[in-house]
Structure 1
Amino acid sequence: MHTPSRPEDLEHPELLWARAVTMAMVDTACSTSTEFALDDDGLWCHSTGGDGWWRLTLVDEGHAVFCGQDPDGSHTHVDGEQIDFLAGGPDWLPWDLLRDDAAGNLFGFVYWWENGAWHRIPYPDEVREDGLDGAAAWVGADEEEFLGLTVSSFDAPWARQRSLTDAVARFAALARERKADAGAVAALLAAAHTEGRPAPRLDAALDLATRAGILS
């Protein structure tokens, strides 16, 4: 990933959505205090460490928005003023939501997808880093790195890591094609279950996956 990040660092929105939902589903099923949330504004991760955050919004078939901030890595003030991440943004952006974010000084990066590519404002020369890699390293990760990040969310012994990685890879491939079903979710969580530990919550995982639209 470039420093500061560039539009070409982000994968296609459908791939990002499948990855994000897979991570959120796993965390929701395995954690009693998940940092992920899915609502009408998109899929959020409310804490990526040090109060960092990101949100992915699929606006419609040809448009998406990815935004967030890494408080330690987003160096996006020039002469003491936050740069305007929304300058020149297209009309279809969810402006009310984004203006609220901007008013709260919550941005380290804002990318939007249209005409088959990601875009952002031109950064001033003074911007050394926007924090994308710190807040959401998975957006530019290769498949192996993404699988490792997801598997780490399971409370599973080291001996299970290989089989879990394979299970996540199978599910993620189905999710990308919107061909996952309840059986695929159950199979993924079953691969993570370790005797003597609480079983992942299948109902919570199915609810999120269904609302996210990745189940066939």
Structure 2
Amino acid sequence: MAIDRPGRPENLPAADVLWARWALVAVLEATAGAEARGVHRGGTWIDDRGLHLDDRGSTWWTFERLGEGRYLLYGEDESSAVKWHKPAVDMLAQAPEWLPYERLRSLLEGGELGCVYWYENGAWARAPYPAGLDDDGLDCGMSRFAVREELLRDLIASERGLPRGRADGLLAAAEARGLTAAEIQEVLDAAAAAAEHVPADREAMLRSLELAALAAPDSIALQGRAGQPA
């Protein structure tokens, strides 16, 4: 499924699917060193607020869960023409009352926001765009997670060097909320055996897996915190 330019709500997969895919990457990329405070963070990660992507250059995005069945996706890619459009586009027009308006308006006032999408009652929505708007950045920012084949390609080419079968299996498990610490251990073992790949950080990956809630809590506690894979 390709993403239009500008993006349309129907271009995005269901919010829980998008969350699972993005969170899988956050788990696989997790390292303790990246959690240091006072440093502008790059890459893909998860924290108490939600999922994040920042390439320290042209694109940054945040994805938050804001209650049962409610999600918020916002950010910016340099390809977005929304904030430069004249007359100005109200990115929060027709938005629901449960959005964190103070935070979003602060980003808008600072010229840091390219688009805002929200999810409720099983559907994505955004503000209306004027005719002729070229792009809102959703394609360049989110196709890596929204388009499954793109994500598989990235997982295979990632610093973990995942074979296609393993990448497909991990992705399917994440989407089904069945990812386990044992599967993460397999990734760690494979990374350790391949000297050309970046070493994996077991504890950081397990913390991210817990935050992402892609597995039952007991599977993490039994297989992860005990220090031994299943």
The TM-score, its normalising length taken from structure 1, stands at 0.85
Between 1:51-60 and 1:28-37, the stretch displaced more is 28-37
Which residue is equivalent to 1:212? 212
Between 1:112-121 and 1:88-97, the stretch displaced more is 88-97
Which residue is equivalent to 1:7? 9
Contact 2:52 2:62 in 1 (8 A): yes
Which residue is equivalent to 2:175? 176
- Residue 31 of structure 1, CA deviation: 8.7
Contact 2:5 2:138 in 1 (8 A): no
The AA in structure 2 aligned to 1:42 is G
Q: Against the structure 1 CA distance between its residues 82 and 149, is the aligned structure 2 distance closer, same or farther, given a 3 Å change threshold?
A: farther
Contact 2:80 2:114 in 1 (8 A): yes
Q: Deviations over 1:49-78 (max 9, x none)?
A: 63311111111221111111111x101122
The AA in structure 1 aligned to 2:175 is R
Unaligned runs of 5+ in 2: 35-40, 217-230
Q: Distance in 2 between matches of 1:173 and 1:30?
A: 26
Q: Distance in 1 between matches of 2:70 and 2:194?
A: 44
Which residue is equivalent to 1:91? 97
1:36 has 2:41 as partner: no
Q: Distance in 1 between matches of 2:181 and 2:29?
A: 17
Q: Deviations over 1:126-147 (max 9, x none)?
A: 4111111112222431x32211
How many residues align? The count is 206
Q: Deviations over 1:78-116 (max 9, x none)?
A: 22x642211221011122222222222222221111121
The AA in structure 2 aligned to 1:170 is G
Contact 2:143 2:150 in 1 (8 A): no
Tell me which of 56, 78, 94 is aligned to 2:85.
78
Which residue is equivalent to 2:65? 58
1:167 has 2:166 as partner: yes
Contact 1:167 1:191 in 2 (8 A): no
- Residue 34 of structure 1, CA deviation: 4.9
> Kindly, what percent of the aligned residue pairs are identical?
31
Unaligned runs of 5+ in 1: none
Which residue is equivalent to 1:152? 157
Q: Distance in 2 between matches of 1:190 and 1:130?
A: 40
Q: Distance in 1 between matches of 2:44 and 2:32?
A: 12
Runs of 4+ aligned structure 1 residues displaced above 4 Å come to 29-34
Q: Against the structure 1 CA distance between its residues 100 and 41, is the aligned structure 2 distance closer, same or farther, given a 3 Å change threshold?
A: farther
The RMSD of aligned alpha carbons is 2.2
Q: Against the structure 1 CA distance between its residues 99 and 193, is the aligned structure 2 distance closer, same or farther, given a 3 Å change threshold?
A: same
Q: Distance in 2 between matches of 1:174 and 1:35?
A: 22
